[in-house]
Amino acid sequence: MFDLILIPAPVSTSVVFVLTRLPWIIHQQARAFRQRALRLVGILLLAVLASCYLAQSAPLPRSRGPSRRVALLSFSPDASSLPALQGSEQSSDWPTYHHDNARTGYLANEPDPQRLVHAWTAQLDGAVYAEPLVIGERVIAATEGDSLYSLDSRTGRVQWRTNIGQPVPLSTLNCRGTIDVLGITGTPVYDPASRLVFAVAEVSGPQHLLVGVDVNTGKLRVKRQVDVPQMHPPRIYLQRPALALSHGMVYIAFGGLADDCGTYHGTIVTSQTDGQGPLLSYQVPTQDSGGIWGPSGPAIDQEGQVYVSTGNEDHMGNGDWDLSNAVLRLSPDLQLEDSFAPAQWREEDTGDQDLGSMGPSLLPGGLVFIAGKAGFGYLLHANDLGGVGGQVAVVSVCGLAQGGVATVGTQIFVPCFDGLRQVTRSTVLISMAPSMLLISRPAWCVHSSRWALRFHTLPPPRSPGDAFL
């Protein structure tokens, strides 16, 4: 029911892996095959394991400790209530991180993968940390060279390249960090209403620019600085999370580069897609840090409510909880509405165990899932996040979770440092059992030394349908 591929990247090598998916349309006739060709759909580092069903109408009690193992039950995926981008061009498009605003990473009715076949390689001007988008026959890639590319999904030919500015060498920032040079890091988002691809580029200054680029021509249509006054100085902020789009607004989240850079605070900013009007923002009220840095970025529900997760507080005293290591629900204009933190939030603060190592994911039935560096997965009510220790249920998923989950109905696929986990919900508990999904079609591999975007496809499968291995 859900096909994916995982390619590990050793931390010791300068290699970045971005995973995507490609709907393969089977045709008996060669001419029809050539005309319709390959249509690619993106999917990033995911992960995954363990399963069970929850009746939608049953009220969920709250739990404060990890649950015991329970038997797993089967169920049918229900994606009908998941928020998609409004006016999406085609069902096979991949316009945002993990396909939609719920961050499901799921596309139905795909063929069962058999094996990967190398299709093409494209040379780019920098490392790729952002998940590529797929719009029609275009693959949209963003680089740390501060460039956006449109590539032909069938051949890898560069259709256009738009450079936003001069990327920023880490050495000029007087900070430590893991990315050098800094350009476009967060995954862009495509707006079908304006036909613009939005991205945030860090350029010399340094400053962070929101740009909107025409998907057909690459022409720059929108450009504005998004460093709000609270983000001072801009050099200590990193725009790593994926961008999100809802109701004509682009949402942009920021964390920090490193602890030695200075005092920063997790911040989220929103702008109208036309680049006009005031910037709205929310900043986490920590003494220091509490960054919004998970790669999956904000999740947004059908009403436009925004869900983000925060990291640890670097210099936590003996005071009260200040929304570090939290899930926050914000209104569309970024007013704080509700929050959640694990009961052991203070230990996670002092132990660098960020809950915010991934963003929240929205599930059917008004639920939210989050996991973090501590390896615990939490199920929350979206309309009542629960405050400190107020989760619906909690399970020990793995040693460390980071990246962005994928979901199919009530199945949750969690990327862990030691492999994949699949988590599902039961009537009262979340249980966990080891299993593995082989995720496939196609894989993006970018080598920092040569800036090569390699594209792999699958040969025609034996029969159409979803793959669940």
Per-residue pLDDT tens over the stretch 266-283: 999 999 999 999 999 999
Could you please report the per-residue DSSP string of 13-76? S-EEEEEEE--B---SSHHHHHHH-B--EE--S----------TTSPPPP--SBPPP-------
pLDDT for residue 82? 56
Asked if 253 contacts 282 with a C-beta cutoff of 8 angstroms, the reply is no
pLDDT at 423: 85
The answer to whether domain 15-457 has CATH 2.130.10.10 is yes
- Exposed / middle / buried, residue 450 (Cβ in 10 Å: 0-12, 13-18, 19+): exposed
Radius of gyration of the chain, Cα coordinates, nearest whole angstrom:
21
Report the C-alpha gap between 451 and 145 in whole angstroms: 10
Q: Mean pLDDT: which of 173-177, 197-201, 409-413 is highest?
A: 197-201
Distance CA 403, CA 16 (A): 13
Give the rounded distance of the alpha carbon of 296 from its chain centre: 2
Phi-psi region of 80 (alpha: psi -120 to 50; beta: other; left: phi over 0): alpha
Q: Is the pTM of this model over 0.85?
A: no
Quote the CA–CA distance of 104 and 41 in Å, as a whole number: 13
Residue 36 sits at φ, ψ, to 5 deg, of: -90, -30
Residue 108 CB coordination number (10 Å): 11
Rounded CA separation 296/306 (Å): 13
Sign of CA dihedral 391, 392, 396, 397: negative
Strand ranges, E, within 101-241: 117-123, 133-135, 138-142, 147-152, 158-163, 189-191, 196-203, 207-214, 220-225, 237-238
Is residue 463 over pLDDT 60? Answer: no
Average pLDDT over residues 345-349: 80
Q: Which two tokens stand for residue 131?
A: 């998940």
Bond preceding residue 128 cis, omega within 30 of 0:
no
> Three-class SS of residue 172?
helix
Taking residue 55's Cβ as centre, other Cβ atoms within 10 Å add up to 11
Percent of the chain with pLDDT over 90: 51
Any residues with CB less than 8 A from the CB of 389 and at least 6 apart, and which? Answer: 64, 341, 342, 343
CB 19 within 8 A of CB 46: yes
What tokens does 433 get? 């059992």
Higher local confidence (pLDDT), 258 or 86: 258
23-27, 69-73, 74-78, 119-123 — which is least confidently predicted?
Answer: 69-73
Pairing relationship of beta strands 387-388 and 336-341 according to DSSP bridges: parallel
Give the Å distances, CA to CA, from 8 to 185, 275, 293, 458: 19, 38, 21, 19
Does the pLDDT value for residue 358 go beyond 60? yes
pLDDT level of residue 315 (50, 70, 90 thresholds): low
- Chain centre distance of CA 62: 27
pLDDT in tens, 43-61: 333 333 222 222 232 333 4
Q: How far apart are CA 87 and CA 178, in angstroms?
A: 37
The SS3 assignment for 170 reads helix
- Rounded average pLDDT over 256-262: 78
Among 29-43, 259-273, 325-339, top mean pLDDT goes to 325-339
Contacts of 220 (CB under 8 A, 6+ apart): 162, 164, 211, 212, 213, 214
CA dist list (Å): 423 to 7, 18, 370, 435: 21, 23, 11, 10
Decide which of 308 and 442 is more confident.
Answer: 308
